[in-house]
Structure 1
């Protein structure tokens, strides 16, 4: 959602880094933080910072357009959360565990949802590979690793979500 994890979890970091969405899909990133940290960056301070796309007008324009769309479509986050719930519901009763936060999700081939990387590494990668291949045969290209997450976006239609949910259910049952 708007504000990301900082707003969701109610934290104020010393330093924030932003990427991807801030460039509207084009190369761009930014950072910002508390005054005492930012004053260390040149020209005020001794730390030099530069980047290939710093101030790139195309990336900045794309980022502004993306942020305007996000602010105009706040209900999109609720819709994406519900869409992810549909996929989670299709996975109920299947061998493994479904983990989600908003529109970010992953099905792990592990009996309990992992709470950290070490637990995620306990997942059955052989079963994941078989599942991945079944999904690919249905024209669904998931991240090819058990340890990469999935994301839904505003571009996914209701029909896409229904197809994806159905595919999860059938491929996990096979």
Structure 2
């Protein structure tokens, strides 16, 4: 199997993010952590993932500062996996993916889980990029200012 190219030194923020959390198991582990899953066995049961793969992804997310282990909340000898502030900052990403999936991957009227505000029970409002004045911002209204090739990879000079 060919070794995958690492992107953790890329000048592109999307590439760096995908390098870290773009793996399907990592994203589903993070999703489950937001849903309150905290134990290794609970992650495994929820995801149907092999133990070795789960252990690897949990280790990766821990090393990246997205999850941390803490003593089990029930006082047992187990440890819980909890989101760190860095991990919790991924919430808008998961909401955007959820909303895209709801809009693009389900037939009209097809049942699916729904993200709601805990206090009101109302569905979470659609996430949209906005201008500084709060008006919606379309992709065509933006551009990426890329770094010159010489600045993009100083370690390769």
Shorter-normalised TM range = under 0.3
Question: Counting strand residues as a fraction of each chain, which structure ranks higher?
Answer: 1
TM-score, normalised via structure 1 length: 0.22
